Amino acid sequence: MTENPEKSENPEKSMEPENPEKSMESEKSVEAVEPVGTRRPEIRIRDLHKSFGDNQVLRGIDLDIAQGEVVCVIGPSGSGKSTLLRCVNLLEEPTRGQVFVGGTEVTDPDVDIDAVRRRIGMVFQQFNLFPHLTVTENLTLPQRRVLKRDKARAAKAAAENLERVGLSEKAGAYPSSLSGGQQQRVAIARALAMGPRVMLFDEPTSALDPELVGDVLAVMRMLADEGMTMMVVTHEMAFAREVADRVVFMDGGVIVEDGTPERVIGDPAHERTRHFLSRLLDPARAQVEEERNQGLTGGSP
Amino acid sequence: MTDPTAQPAPTGASAFEVQPKKKGLTRRQKRGLSRGVQYAVFVAAVAALAVAADWDRLRNQFARPDIAERMFPEVITLALQNTVLYTVSGFTVGLALGMVIALMRLSSVGPYRWLAGIYIEIFRGLPALLIFIFIGVAVPLAFPGTEIIGGTYGKVALALGLVAAAYMAETIRAGIQAVPKGQMEAARSLGFSPARAMISIIIPQAFRIILPPLTNELVLLFKDSSLVLFLGVTLAERELSKYGRDLASTTANSTPILVAGLCYLLVTIPLGFVVRRMEAKAQEAVK
């Protein structure tokens, strides 16, 4: 990961921007020299609401994610972060509000959602590989059926992306014979083979044994370094701190805090964020403090 | 049965004084006795049947080698072949129709769901025999001049298919619903349309799940093909049951019925074995 040839696309990530002439060689060079803030947003979310029956899960979300930006969404379970992610590619239909991806309004009822989804890769907590297909077929079938690529082209993209996630030797295996971490890397490769502009990750490491988390995070870090626009719902604070350009903290269906990882994780401005982080990082101490607070206030909120 | 060593030995030193049962049997003795009685009843029943039956007459009526010999090879080349043909054509129609009805049942369009539900309730609730009579009598009456394509074969395929479709639709629906929701979500997130995701991703997985019950349905259809009897068939269209019965009446002997029965078992027993193998394999795959 030290000498990445595509690193020139996102100089904002490296401390010293590289030689601009070198970055001109890459196809996205014009965008690459712009800083994150001024780039046009790849994902735009405006006043997004989502209810399941009487249960209001999202209560007005506004969020912009620039091209090449990596945004980690954190928050307690039930805060609506997964629902927010699923609204971006319309796996959940918002009750109100708008979502734009790459300038196309996803929430427009007349939009061809299948065409939009081709440009949005998604990685699920439960991997969701197709168990009746081999690893290679998992990568080639969507390309052939959805993108209408011919056999050779699909096979080439499959091989390239398996190589990227370091699983070329598993090409002929069935998903059930792979570890959870390997399955998740195949799932990432499957999404990448479609050539997405944006990648969504829905708690990609939550279903993994702790010793398998690292490999998946390494692949995600590589993608971030290559300049992929990423929206990641995660509980991995170390990953968020190291890789994310921005961290968004959600609670109760609203965005409570939005800023650099150093600010949101290192020095949270809101009590709710502090409370969440302390519970996540040191559950035992949080428990003691909670009980002491309740003792002081007599148990009332 | 009564083994004195089976009684717990009295141990005065034990802190928990096990009270030796004063009367009645120990658990082990009861279990032994129960099993012994079951064996005794079984042996007695078999013996009574063997003694009571008139074996000579039975053999004369059902197992005359000379008559059985006369049935070959026609019972295989004609009767069994027709039975298989009827079954396979009925299964094919049933599978196709069952798939359509299963998808209608899962449709988001209300009337489709209702229609599929009504179909399933009606055709599962009616005896297959009535449906055969309906196809044989009512359809020609209602649409005079029209012939069901394929003659008798077409009629049988239709009648068996109509019955099988109702059962298969429910099986297929259950199989589709047994595929995890994440599979559809993954397919949709890759840009598959709902129909394409169903065809490429969901249905292939559903069929793995329902292969054993579908094979069972094939066995049922194989037996139900005997109802062809009620359609009126030519000599060349006879299947096992009809063939056996015809021969039984011309020879005034029931041996052909027995031979026909054995021919059914020749197919159903191996199929049943295959189903159990598939179920065991599916069970293993889950682990």
Strands of A96-101's sheet in order across: A55-66, A41-52, A96-101, A104-105
Contact between residue A253 and residue A80 where contact means Cβ atoms under 8 Å apart: yes
- Contact across the interface for B189 and A118, Cβ inside 8 Å: no
Average pLDDT over residues B70-76: 80
Looking at the partner chain, which of B180, B189, B196 has a beta carbon nearest the beta carbon of A122? B189
A275: part of which helix (H) or strand (E)?
helix A271-281
Contact between residue A42 and residue A102 where contact means Cβ atoms under 8 Å apart: yes
Q: Structure tokens of B247?
A: 């021969």
Burial of A201 (0-12, 13-18, 19+ CB in 10 A): buried
pLDDT computed for residue A234 by the predictor: 94
Contact between residue A237 and residue A213 where contact means Cβ atoms under 8 Å apart: no
pLDDT computed for residue B22 by the predictor: 62
A289 min Cα distance to partner chain B (Å): 39
- Contact across the interface for B182 and A91, Cβ inside 8 Å: no
- Has residue A154 got a pLDDT over 80? yes
Q: Structure tokens of B222?
A: 């194989």
State percent of chain B over pLDDT 70: 89
Global pTM? Answer: 0.76
- Contact across the interface for B191 and A115, Cβ inside 8 Å: yes
Contact between residue B52 and residue B122 where contact means Cβ atoms under 8 Å apart: no
Confidence bin at A301 (pLDDT 50/70/90) = very low
Task: Give the ranges where B179-227 is alpha helix by DSSP (H).
Answer: 181-189, 194-197, 203-224
Q: Structure tokens of B162?
A: 């109509």
pLDDT computed for residue A9 by the predictor: 41
Q: Does A207 touch chain B (CB under 8 A)?
A: no
- Has residue A21 got a pLDDT over 50? no
DSSP letter for each residue of A212-256: HHHHHHHHHHHHHHTT-EEEEE-S-HHHHHHH-SEEEEEETTEEE
Contact between residue A60 and residue A254 where contact means Cβ atoms under 8 Å apart: yes
pLDDT computed for residue A121 by the predictor: 95
Query: Mean pLDDT for chain B?
Result: 85
B181, B189, B196, B208, best to mutate vs chain A, most A CBs in 10 Å: B189
Query: Mean pLDDT for chain A?
Result: 85
pLDDT computed for residue B15 by the predictor: 55
- Contact across the interface for B189 and A142, Cβ inside 8 Å: no
Name the residue with higher pLDDT: B23 or A296.
B23
**B253 in helix, strand or coil?**
coil
A114 min Cα distance to partner chain B (Å): 4
- Contact across the interface for A131 and B205, Cβ inside 8 Å: yes
Least confident of A130-139, A292-301, B40-49, B75-84: A292-301
pLDDT computed for residue B17 by the predictor: 62
- Contact across the interface for B183 and A128, Cβ inside 8 Å: yes
Least confident of A3-17, A175-189, A231-245, A264-278: A3-17
**B126 in helix, strand or coil?**
coil
- Contact across the interface for A117 and B205, Cβ inside 8 Å: no
Beta strands in A133-290 (DSSP E): 198-202, 229-233, 246-251, 254-259
- Contact across the interface for A132 and B196, Cβ inside 8 Å: no
φ and ψ at A97, to 5 degrees? 105, 180
- Has residue B192 got a pLDDT over 70? yes
- Contact across the interface for A146 and B208, Cβ inside 8 Å: no
d(CA A245, CA A235): 16
Confidence bin at A184 (pLDDT 50/70/90) = very high
Sort out which chain A residues have CB atoms less than 8 A from B200's CB and list them.
141, 145
pLDDT computed for residue A299 by the predictor: 45
pLDDT computed for residue A2 by the predictor: 41
d(CA B51, CA B186): 68
Name the residue with higher pLDDT: A291 or A179.
A179
- Contact across the interface for A146 and B190, Cβ inside 8 Å: yes
pLDDT computed for residue A29 by the predictor: 40
Q: Structure tokens of A206?
A: 């939550």
d(CA A48, CA A35): 27
- Contact across the interface for A130 and B191, Cβ inside 8 Å: no
Q: Does A272 touch chain B (CB under 8 A)?
A: no
d(CA B166, CA B157): 14
pLDDT computed for residue B242 by the predictor: 86
Residue A188: name the closest of A201, A175, A178, A172 by CA: A201
Q: pLDDT digits over A52-67, tens only?
A: 999 999 999 999 999 9
Least confident of A30-44, A274-288, B221-235: A30-44
Average pLDDT over residues A227-251: 94
- Contact across the interface for A91 and B189, Cβ inside 8 Å: yes
* Distance of alpha carbon B190 from the chain centroid: 40
Sort out which chain B residues have CB atoms less than 8 A from A142's CB and list them.
187, 190-192
d(CA B75, CA B78): 6
Q: Does A186 touch chain B (CB under 8 A)?
A: no
Confidence bin at A297 (pLDDT 50/70/90) = low
Residue B162: name the closest of B214, B218, B106, B120 by CA: B120
Query: Closest residue of B to A133, CA-based?
Result: B201
Query: Closest residue of B to A126, CA-based?
Result: B182
Residue type, B138: A
d(CA B267, CA B88): 13
Name the residue with higher pLDDT: A21 or B99.
B99
- Has residue A130 got a pLDDT over 90? yes
- Has residue A4 got a pLDDT over 70? no
B254 min Cα distance to partner chain A (Å): 50
Confidence bin at B1 (pLDDT 50/70/90) = very low
Sort out which chain A residues have CB atoms less than 8 A from B189's CB and list them.
89, 91, 117, 120-122, 191
- Has residue A70 got a pLDDT over 90? yes
pLDDT computed for residue A39 by the predictor: 66
Chains A, B: CB contacts within 8 A come to 59
Strands of A198-202's sheet in order across: A120-123, A198-202, A229-233, A70-74, A246-251, A254-259
- Has residue A90 got a pLDDT over 60? yes
Average pLDDT over residues A285-291: 72
Residue A249, strand partner residues: A74, A257
- Has residue A6 got a pLDDT over 50? no
Name the residue with higher pLDDT: B240 or A167.
A167
Average pLDDT over residues A151-159: 96
Confidence bin at B19 (pLDDT 50/70/90) = low
Confidence bin at A22 (pLDDT 50/70/90) = very low
**A51 in helix, strand or coil?**
strand
Q: Does A115 touch chain B (CB under 8 A)?
A: yes
Q: Structure tokens of A262?
A: 């150093």
Residue B97: name the closest of B166, B152, B150 by CA: B166
- Contact across the interface for B208 and A141, Cβ inside 8 Å: no
C-alpha torsion sign, points B74, B162, B131, B128? positive
Sort out which chain B residues have CB atoms less than 8 A from A141's CB and list them.
200
State percent of chain A over pLDDT 70: 84
Looking at the partner chain, which of A91, A126, A194 has a beta carbon nearest the beta carbon of B191? A194
pLDDT computed for residue A126 by the predictor: 94
Sort out which chain B residues have CB atoms less than 8 A from A114's CB and list them.
188, 191-193
- Contact across the interface for B205 and A145, Cβ inside 8 Å: no
pLDDT computed for residue A30 by the predictor: 41
B176, B184, B190, best to mutate vs chain A, most A CBs in 10 Å: B190
DSSP letter for each residue of B47-101: HHHHHHS-HHHHHHHH--HHHHHHHTTHIIIIIIHHHHHHHHHHHHHHHHHHHHH
* Distance of alpha carbon B40 from the chain centroid: 32
